[in-house]
């Protein structure tokens, strides 16, 4: 298995704190050189995307309210954007790094992201968001620690480890992209990797992590794959769940966790077993043939290799649904702010609007497309956010072309168009995801966390509201929807900007299963949204247009 970074020259990665201006939150600066490299993570040489010669990319370690500045040098041969999944970018969709908000960083140029991890804690990851580049790597962990003054509902772990697991294809991202552009499917992945590796089990594997006997460690586990839910487990070591996508959870113990695409969990693991090596295992779920990836967790005093016996994974999605229902918000724990998470009583807020999103797949004239409410989104040359800001939306897209309450057969006649839906600022919204397909969905919303109040088999009706968890549903950013099932989320649209809602299945997203949510205020006030950065890249129809009056 490729030496990953060891043989490659490490480039400067500067992550020191600059002395902050008094009263301002500290700044952390990163310089990223993004290049191609050749590695064999799944046994055969292939092109991968490296950040400062690392695969996966470096972890970003931060604390609530830190300012993060990342100067990205695009040394690929194609446009690049980084998306910071789960970072809410309060008032700041300017830095969200998706096709609908930002012009891409052109090859041979650099661009600097500036954002604040405001009022958030938790485990997240970043990745290149364009053109299926995530299939080649370029992703890395992004953690937001609690500020010192705010109590964390568990003892300080001995160390803090990030596990980026996911399915993996041995074809290059450009080959995979050609398949999709030709209307075909990605097909099946070839491997499951943990932090870019899969242990061979022949005695030559290096450990991914080491633990001192008796100590407790935090592991942050994210599914960075393209296609499959994974089940994650560690030989002989149960996991105590403490955090999920930015929320402290009730601390249940699990032998294994289903991690859907785009999700992250924070768990505590205690080194209380016979000191030797143990496998961490990630295997694909809901697939006919199961792919398994392994990584080694080593005790510092360990002398023996891991047992070849891999703990069994659960079967079927009912198990996964039950596990979803066991997740609870810890109402008394404080997250990024001193007040307890549960002091926001989301279950008592009146719903102002209900929107149902039905996903569908179509093969018109043999070409594969995916849609939401009958619209298969296409990205244009001009980002939605910029067209809106410069006052020329009509040149790029039409608002509100889908219905809030589509008919069940809305997927029959799919149109290809930019899909942009407006929500009034500060309204409290109920979104129902209906999945009539046989595959498991995973939806992600940028710019927000929402309350994941229910998932049930069948179709939704208003009477189902009585089954919602209106007390302690976890506030998170990614929602699975099981086959022929529905899921409901509640949230307040209090973050002005343009925000991507998408299927985390890479093929579905690439072929149109995504849309943009526009939350506007007429005031153009700095209270609601930051000004467009001076250095923002402009492209498409907004290039050369006069800049609108700044907000005040
Ligand atoms: C980035 O890496 C490439 C390949 O190693 C190198 O040629 C280039 O000089 C580097 N650029 C910067 C800005 O460090
Ligand atoms: C990460 O940041 C926290 C505080 O922000 C610090 O305590 C910790 O040492 C850092 N860890 C690493 C590995 O840099
Ligand atoms: C590009 O990088 C240089 C430093 O090498 C920096 O001064 C400049 O501001 C960067 N440009 C952009 C657009 O971020
Ligand atoms: C919830 O958080 C509180 C406050 O930090 C903590 O004392 C308690 O143990 C947590 N409860 C559970 C069930 O995890
Ligand atoms: C919610 O709606 C009910 C019935 O229309 C009304 O009585 C109640 O005051 C509303 N609650 C809030 C918090 O606005």
Q: What is the pLDDT of residues 312-334, one digit of tens each?
A: 999 999 999 999 999 999 999 99
Give the number of other CB atoms < 10 A from CB of residue 434: 23
Instruction: Report CA(218)–ligand 4 centroid distance (Å).
Output: 17
Least distant ligand from the CA of 16: 2
**CB 320, CB 285: distance < 8 Å:** yes
Which of left, alpha, beta for 85 (phi over 0: left; psi -120 to 50: alpha)? beta
User: Is any atom of ligand 1 closer than 6 Å to the C-beta of 13?
Assistant: no
* pLDDT tens digits along 422-472: 999 999 999 999 999 999 999 999 999 999 999 999 999 999 999 999 999
- Domain 160-315 -> CATH class: mainly beta
CA distance 535 to 13: 23
372-387 average pLDDT score: 98
14 band by pLDDT with thresholds 50, 70 and 90? very low
Percent of the chain with pLDDT over 70: 96
Atom of ligand 1 nearest to the CA of 11: 14
User: Is any atom of ligand 3 closer than 6 Å to the C-beta of 32?
Assistant: no
Nearest CA to ligand 4 atom 11: 250
Q: Fold identical between 16-145 and 160-315?
A: yes
Nearest CA to ligand 4 atom 8: 153
**CB 288, CB 470: distance < 8 Å:** no
Instruction: Report CA(353)–ligand 2 centroid distance (Å).
Output: 42
User: Is any atom of ligand 3 closer than 6 Å to the C-beta of 14?
Assistant: no
From 362, 397, 366, 394, select the one nearest 379 (Cα to Cα): 397
23 band by pLDDT with thresholds 50, 70 and 90? low
* pLDDT tens digits along 130-174: 999 999 999 999 999 999 999 999 999 999 999 999 999 999 999
CA distance 165 to 32: 22
User: Is any atom of ligand 4 closer than 6 Å to the C-beta of 153?
Assistant: yes
Q: Does domain 16-145 correspond to CATH entry 2.60.40.420? A: yes
Least distant ligand from the CA of 152: 4
Average pLDDT for the chain: 95
Least distant ligand from the CA of 346: 5
Q: Using DSSP, state whether 101 is helix, strand or coil.
A: coil
pLDDT reported for residue 522: 84
Least distant ligand from the CA of 156: 2
Q: What is the pTM of this model?
A: 0.95
pLDDT reported for residue 523: 87
User: Is any atom of ligand 1 closer than 6 Å to the C-beta of 73?
Assistant: yes
174-193 average pLDDT score: 98
Nearest CA to ligand 2 atom 10: 61
The helix or strand, by DSSP H or E, that contains position 317, with its residue range, turns out to be helix 317-326
Annotated domain spans of the chain = 16-145, 160-315, 341-542
User: Is any atom of ligand 1 closer than 6 Å to the C-beta of 11?
Assistant: yes
Above 60 in pLDDT, residue 1? no
Q: Does domain 341-542 correspond to CATH entry 2.30.110.10? A: no
- The tokens describing 333, both together, are 């724990």
From 327, 295, 329, 289, select the one nearest 310 (Cα to Cα): 295
233-252 average pLDDT score: 98
Nearest CA to ligand 3 atom 1: 110
């Amino acid at each position: 298995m490729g030496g990953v970074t060891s043989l490659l020259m490490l480039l400067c990665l500067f992550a020191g704190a600059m002395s902050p201006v008094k009263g301002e939150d500290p700044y952390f600066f990163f310089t990223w050189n993004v290049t191609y490299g050749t590695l064999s993570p799944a046994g055969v040489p292939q092109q991968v995307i490296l950040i400062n010669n690392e695969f996966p990319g470096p972890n970003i370690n931060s604390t609530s309210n830190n300012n993060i500045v990342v100067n990205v040098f695009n040394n690929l041969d194609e446009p690049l954007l980084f998306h910071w999944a789960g970072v809410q970018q309060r008032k700041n969709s300017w830095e969200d790094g998706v096709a609908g908000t930002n012009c891409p960083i052109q090859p041979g140029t650099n661009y600097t992201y500036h954002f604040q991890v405001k009022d958030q804690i938790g485990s997240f990851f970043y990745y290149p968001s364009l053109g299926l580049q995530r299939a080649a790597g370029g992703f890395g962990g992004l953690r937001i620690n609690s500020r010192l003054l705010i109590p964390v509902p568990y003892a300080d772990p001995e160390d803090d480890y990030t596990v980026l697991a996911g399915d993996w294809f041995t074809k290059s991202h450009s080959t995979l992209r050609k398949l999709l552009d030709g209307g075909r499917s990605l097909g099946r992945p070839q491997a499951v990797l943990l932090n870019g590796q899969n242990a061979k089990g022949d005695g030559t594997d290096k450990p991914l992590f080491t633990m001192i006997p008796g100590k407790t460690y935090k592991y942050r586990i994210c599914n960075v794959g393209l296609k499959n839910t994974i089940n994650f487990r560690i030989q002989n070591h149960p996991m105590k769940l403490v955090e999920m996508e930015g929320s402290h959870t009730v601390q249940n113990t699990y032998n294994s966790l289903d991690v859907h695409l785009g999700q992250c969990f924070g768990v505590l693991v205690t080194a209380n077993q016979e000191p030797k090596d143990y496998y961490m295992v990630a295997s694909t779920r809901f697939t006919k043939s199961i792919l398994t990836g392994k990584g080694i967790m080593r005790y510092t005093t360990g002398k023996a290799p891991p047992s070849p016996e891999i703990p069994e994974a659960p079967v079927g999605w009912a198990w996964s649904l039950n596990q979803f229902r066991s997740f609870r918000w810890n109402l008394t724990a404080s997250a990024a702010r001193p007040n307890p998470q549960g002091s926001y009583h989301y279950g008592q807020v009146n719903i102002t609007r209900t929107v149902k999103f039905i996903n569908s797949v179509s093969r018109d004239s043999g070409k594969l497309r995916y849609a939401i409410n009958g619209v298969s989104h296409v990205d244009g040359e001009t980002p939605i956010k910029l067209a809106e800001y410069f006052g020329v939306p009509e040149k790029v897209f039409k608002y509100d072309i889908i219905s809030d309450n589509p008919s069940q057969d809305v997927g029959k006649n799919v149109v290809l168009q930019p899909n942009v839906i407006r929500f009034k600022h500060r309204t409290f919204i109920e979104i129902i995801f209906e999945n009539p397909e046989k595959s498991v969905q995973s939806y992600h919303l940028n710019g927000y966390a929402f309350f994941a109040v229910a998932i049930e088999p069948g179709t939704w009706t208003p009477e189902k509201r009585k089954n919602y968890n209106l007390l302690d549903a976890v506030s998170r950013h990614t929602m699975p929807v099981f086959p022929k099932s529905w899921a409901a989320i509640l949230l307040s649209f209090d973050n002005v900007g343009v925000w991507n809602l998408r299927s985390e299945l890479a093929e579905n997203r690439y072929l149109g299963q995504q849309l943009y949510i526009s939350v506007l205020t007429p005031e153009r006030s700095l209270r609601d949204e930051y000004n467009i950065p001076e250095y923002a890249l402009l492209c498409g129809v907004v290039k050369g247009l006069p800049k609108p009056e700044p907000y005040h």
